[in-house]
A and B are shown apart, each in its own frame.
Chain A
Amino acid sequence: MKSPLLKLVAQRVGLSVILLFAVSLLIFVGTQILPGDVAQSILGQSATPEAVANLRESLGLNQPAYLRYLEWLGGLLTGHLGNALSNGLPIGPELWQRLKNTLFLAFWAAAISVPLSTVLGLIAVRHKNGFIDKMISATTLLTISLPDFFIGYLLIYFVAVKLGWFTSVSTVFDGMPFLQRMNAIVLPATALTLVVLAQMMRMTRAAILNVMQSAYVETAQLKGLSQFEIIWHHAFPNSIAPIINVIMLNLAYLVVGVVVIEVIFVYPGMGQYLVDHVAKRDVPVVQDCGLIFAAVYIGLNMLADIFAILSNPRLRHPK
């Protein structure tokens, strides 16, 4: 298919790659101006100036910054994430393990929240300004207004402590059976769902209501279709682009913004990993985590753009 579509999509992908490089540079510069010195913090109070100098030398901290950047970038492109400064072990396996955990949690939170919010949005439109609409709006606004740590503690207190249905500690490990793993993430996934639900639902509602003003919705009404058929067949397909945008932003949040939830539920994800290593001044780990977060963000937004392009029949079927 030789169409403007391919060109547009290729443009979006190209832009995302350029953006990712720009972000990698930004992350590198950002970590360079962090206060403190790794060698100093590894050696602690007892460090002699000679020991610090030796360690700096062996860690390669005396090389010029641009060389270290290129080395880091080259390593990333060839799949070598480098070694952590704090314990000298390769970052790759540990990071991969953490990333898998984070994606696992994010996936299940998304698998619940995306369909749920869309359906709630559709129902809200169907009962616009009625009791059901107001209930949905009020509930979702309440959950988004509560800070995520508060929701986390509420769940722990009521569901884990009082009712004892699920455990409050969501530790997962390699080789854990699937069902057990699912059981462990119920509470953090619920907390995340409650946090992201409102925005997606409100956007679905607003986008569809906007389209409901169109002449073709009137045409559908004058064909005798039921309100739900009109919303589902005629309004929803034309409001997908803005909805997907908000969904992608929230999916990104599920991956990169869950530090607090991870800490509360003691879940071994990327967020905790990152925060730990910021405290240790472990620059390579911080850089790698930062870049992965950036890649997730950019990638999801790129997907949102591509979906928006694909959902436009004028681009999909040129004259």
Chain B
Amino acid sequence: MPRQAKRPQGSESGALLDIRNLRIEATVYPPGEDPRDIVIVDDVSLTLTKGKVLGLIGESGAGKSTIGLSSMGYGRGGVRITGGQVILNGRDILKGGQKGFRQLRGREVCYVAQSAAAAFNPAHRLMRQVIEASLKHGVFSRAEAEKRAIALFKELSLPDPEHIGDRYPHQVSGGQLQRVMTAMALCSKPDLIVFDEPTTALDVTTQIDVLAAIKKAIRDTGVAALYITHDLAVVAQVADDIMVLRHGKKVEKGDTRQIIKEPREQYTGALVSVHEIPHEEHKPAEPILSVKNVTAAYGGGQVKVLKNVSVDLSAGQTLAVVGESGSGKSTLARAITGLLPPMEGSIVFDGRPLPPRLGDRKKNDLRELQMIYQMADVAMNPRQTVGTIIGRPIQFYFGLKGRKRDEMVRELLDKIEMGSGFFDRYPAELSGGQKQRVCIARALAAKPKLIICDEVTSALDPLVANGILKLLLNLQQEENVAYLFITHDLATVKSIADSIAVMYRGSVVRYGPRSEVLTPPFDAYTDLLLSSVPEMEIGWLEKAISGRRMESAGN
């Protein structure tokens, strides 16, 4: 086995990657129409020198992943590179064909995917997968590769670096898996790593650890990186330069400080200030919902997921429930809606105790308490039109039919700022934000007093999420509806909540009006949670890590 595979050296200018006038197209097959070609990336050029990190930022559909993967000659889902050059280490890789691509993938360029949990093969041990590319390309012998992998596990602060490679992917937590994937990318000593939203699927407290590990590994190994994300605050921590993309075109490019402090384009400015929503905090008033000492468990009392939880929500106000995955916040929603009857405690709604079981509740109880979900597209029947979806609760709760019902649907469509033109559309024809708006309209159609919003903006791009939050606040003023807002995103909470409950391992660790909850002194967990939210500031990451009082749960 050859010890070192031959590799061309970088061009004289020092540019490792030079993408010129890249154009990428794909064929789409819209239902009921002829297939047509669409342009995904249009005339994008970028250069990356050795050891530098370039952030690619934009909302979904901006073409950032597509550009990143083009550096490996890979088109996901049948997209085609139809123009331009991708010059890597001094040669245009697009001329190399499949064989050329295979030689550079895993050798010169490696990839770190968004969901490491899905990107690892469940059938093989981690070590085998980590060293696979190094063996394939003949970079190291098996023993050398394993030694390097263990060193990288150490570098990335993984627990038990000597033996973690013997585990299977399902035996390792999400945050650890993401770091193992980074080690996998680094193992064959590539020149360039494409990080494709590597921390997006993680909890905020885990994200900060992974981010720090990635940053350290990049610095210590001197590898160059394309860092793709939709979160400007995250990329500001690791990137030297940032390129902002929208609809497959470059918006602007500059060094990190310039982009976040002095954005030239309006769109960049909107991304920078995305979390700022003006909202005056309301003082606590008469509660519409009182959760009193609720304890709930799965498996017939085996696994307690809610422990003695008590919170109040005032009418017409917003209570934000925050915590990381597994903290019990969605279970609280299930207890309130009656899907998981509590073992102990009571739930008082609008002055009357609610029956614990969903089946025992009256139609009016159901009507006054509505829900909106994280995944808008799976919460709607894909074979029903928007009109039918929104009209259904009107018919069910108020018995209205025909023209009267349609009229109300149109009013609701106006309220969610979509307009009655969407009446006959199907969910598949809507964007992510529009789908969530339809779900909001469906909840409002029942004229509820309380809506439980379960991570309603988590699956959306920041700017779209921002629009949804503004809409929710407007609707709250108009309809005087209360929100129980479940989220892991503290930035959202800061902008829209009136009161906040912080949950940790099934208990409420901090609860009160927003201004009080967010004012020090903090308990250790709230401190960790608050200090883990990335801020749009260079050097925030190092400050946050050094100032921590508590290890995150994912570690």
Residues of A with Cβ closer than 8 Å to B? 214-216, 218-226, 229, 233-234, 237-238, 313-314, 317, 319
Contacts and interface: CB of A to CB of B under 8 A. Distances in A.
B25 interface: no
Nearest to B69: A222
Contact of B102 (A219, A225, A313): A225
Contacts of A313: 122-123, 168, 170
Contact of A218 (B102, B110, B119, B133): B119
B72 A222 contact: yes
B121 A216 contact: yes
A224 B136 contact: yes
B483 interface: no
A218 B76 contact: yes
A237 B111 CA distance: 23
Contacts of A319: 170-171
6 contacts: A220-B121, A221-B105, A222-B69, A224-B137, A225-B136, A238-B123
Given A215-B118, A219-B119, 17 more contacts: A214-B118, A215-B115, A216-B118, A216-B121, A216-B122, A219-B120, A219-B129, A223-B105, A223-B110, A223-B133, A224-B105, A224-B136, A224-B137, A225-B106, A237-B124, A314-B122, A319-B171
A209 to B, nearest CB: 15
A317 B168 contact: yes
A165 B351 CA distance: 92
Nearest to A225: B136
Contacts of B137: 224
Nearest to B115: A215
Given A215-B118, A218-B76, A314-B122, A223 B170 contact: no
A223 B171 contact: no
B139 to A, nearest CB: 11
Contacts of B124: 233-234, 237
Interface residues of B, number: 31
Chain B interface, DSSP helix/strand/loop, else mixed:
mixed
Nearest to B167: A317
A233 B176 CA distance: 24
For the complex of A and B, list the 4 residue pairs with the smallest distance between their C-beta atoms, beginning with the closest: A223-B106, A224-B105, A215-B118, A237-B123
B155 interface: no
B189 interface: no
Interface in B491-509: none
Contacts of B132: 220, 223, 225
A234 B120 CA distance: 10
A223 B136 contact: yes
B122 A238 contact: yes
A216 B106 CA distance: 14
B195 interface: no
Nearest to A219: B119
A222 B118 contact: no
A219 B123 contact: no
B101, B105, B107, most chain A CB atoms within 10 A: B105
B121 A234 contact: yes
B60 interface: no
A215 B168 contact: no
A313 to B, nearest CB: 5
Nearest to A237: B123
B482 to A, nearest CB: 40
Interface in B120-146: 120-124, 129, 132-133, 136-137
A135 B354 CA distance: 65
Interface string B139-173: 00000000000000000000000000001101100
B485 interface: no
B76 A224 contact: no
Nearest to A319: B171
A218, A220, A223, A233, most chain B CB atoms within 10 A: A223
B476 interface: no
Contacts of B122: 216, 238, 313-314
B171 A317 contact: yes
Contacts of B105: 221-224
Contact of A219 (B69, B103, B111): B111
Given A215-B115, A317-B168, A319-B171, A224 B120 contact: no
A234 B124 CA distance: 8
Nearest to A239: B123
Contact of A222 (B106, B115, B123, B171): B106
Contacts of A216: 118-122
Given A313-B168, A317-B171, A319-B171, A222 B121 contact: no
A309 to B, nearest CB: 14
A216 B119 CA distance: 4
A218 B118 CA distance: 10
B136 A222 contact: no
B74 interface: yes
Contacts of B118: 214-216
A224 B136 CA distance: 8
B76, B115, B123, B136, most chain A CB atoms within 10 A: B123
A3 to B, nearest CB: 13
A234 to B, nearest CB: 5
A214, A224, A229, A319, most chain B CB atoms within 10 A: A224
B327 to A, nearest CB: 20
A158 B105 CA distance: 52
Contacts of B123: 234, 237-238, 313
Given A222-B110, A224-B103, A224-B104, A238 B121 contact: yes
A223 B121 CA distance: 13
Contacts of B102: 224-226
B336 interface: no
A224 B110 CA distance: 9
B133 A224 contact: yes
Nearest to A222: B111
Nearest to B122: A313
A215 B102 CA distance: 18
B113 interface: yes
Contacts of A317: 167-168, 170-171
B119 A215 contact: yes
B135 to A, nearest CB: 10
